[in-house]
Amino acid sequence: MIEDGVRELAKGKNFAALTTLMPGGQPQTHVMWVDCDDEHILINTEVHRRKFKNVEADPRVTVAIWNAENPYSFAEVRGRVVETVTGPDALASINALSNKYTGGDYAPEIQSERVVLKISPERQISR
């Protein structure tokens, strides 16, 4: 289950640093939109991205989420990608994220294939 402190950050209009592992193990980190359900951190990316290829090869990821108003308040979730979702559900998810962060649907001219990374936590720390 996602802990309350993590949920609050992931549900808010806050940003996350998603870290995946490059071949060989060097970390790759990007600043991303973020959401969660009861059991997973949710990150929406595109299937052609390096970070997606990385999690296909090694599902271990870490997500740090900070309060946009106060970055001293942040959570770290270490875990792994246990499921990926493409198709209409991934499109619905990017539109929901876009509405949270920008107030409107995602730019419809961007036709790349979206994918939701469902991240199951193994360690959750909030501070």
Q: Which of 57, 71, 92, 112 binds a copy of itself (CB under 8 A)?
A: 71
Q: Which residue has the tokens 């730019």?
A: 107
Residue 63 in the binding site for a copy of itself (CB under 8 A): yes
Query: Which residues in 8-37 contact a copy of itself (CB under 8 A)?
Result: 15, 17, 19, 21-22, 25-31
* Stretch in the footprint of a copy of itself (CB under 8 A) among 1-9, 35-43, 56-64, 87-95: 56-64
Query: Which residues in 76-105 contact a copy of itself (CB under 8 A)?
Result: 76, 78
Closer Cβ to a copy of itself, 16 or 42, answer by number: 16
Tell me how far, at minimum, the Cβ of 1 lies from a copy of itself, in Å: 20
Q: Which residue has the tokens 């909030």?
A: 126
DSSP per-residue codes, the chain = ---HHHHHHHHSS-EEEEEEE-TTS-EEEEEE--EE-SS-EEEEEETTSHHHHHHHH--EEEEEEEETTEEEEEEEEEEEEEEEE-THHHHHHHHHHHHHHHSS---TT--SPEEEEEEEEEEEEE-
Residues making contact with a copy of itself (CB under 8 A):
15, 17, 19, 21-22, 25-31, 58, 60-64, 66, 68, 71-72, 74, 76, 78
